[in-house]
């Protein structure tokens, strides 16, 4: 019973930590949207990263 309580408590703590991390990521995403003058609700991080990746590839190709 004690082991199960420890596992449950550890899982609960991990869940709380994960929620804090997600909240931090969401806050940073909103800051990035503001910086880029984008709508906070519509900004998709995957799109931003894909755009950055494409820019980098084109930039490196131009340098060559």
| pLDDT at residue 7, as a whole number | 80
- pLDDT of 63 strictly over 90: yes
The CA dihedral of 32, 35, 36, 39, to the nearest 10 degrees, is 70
pLDDT in tens, 16-58: 999 999 999 999 999 999 999 999 999 999 999 999 999 999 9
| pLDDT at residue 6, as a whole number | 79
What pTM does this model have? 0.67
- Domain with 3, as residue range(s), is 1-63
The span from the CA of 13 to the CA of 35, in Å, is 33
Nearest 5°: the CA angle 55, 59, 64 is 150
Closest CA to 34 of 51, 46, 20, 48: 48
**Number of domains observed in the structure of the chain:** 1
Cβ-in-10-Å burial (0-12, 13-18, 19+) of 30 comes to: middle
């Amino acid at each position: 019973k004690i082991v199960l309580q420890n596992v449950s408590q550890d899982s609960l703590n991990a869940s709380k930590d994960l929620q804090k991390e997600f909240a931090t990521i969401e806050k940073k995403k909103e800051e990035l949207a503001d910086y880029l003058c984008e709508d906070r609700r519509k900004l998709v991080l995957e799109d931003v990263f894909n755009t950055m990746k494409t820019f980098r590839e084109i930039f490196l190709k131009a340098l060559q």
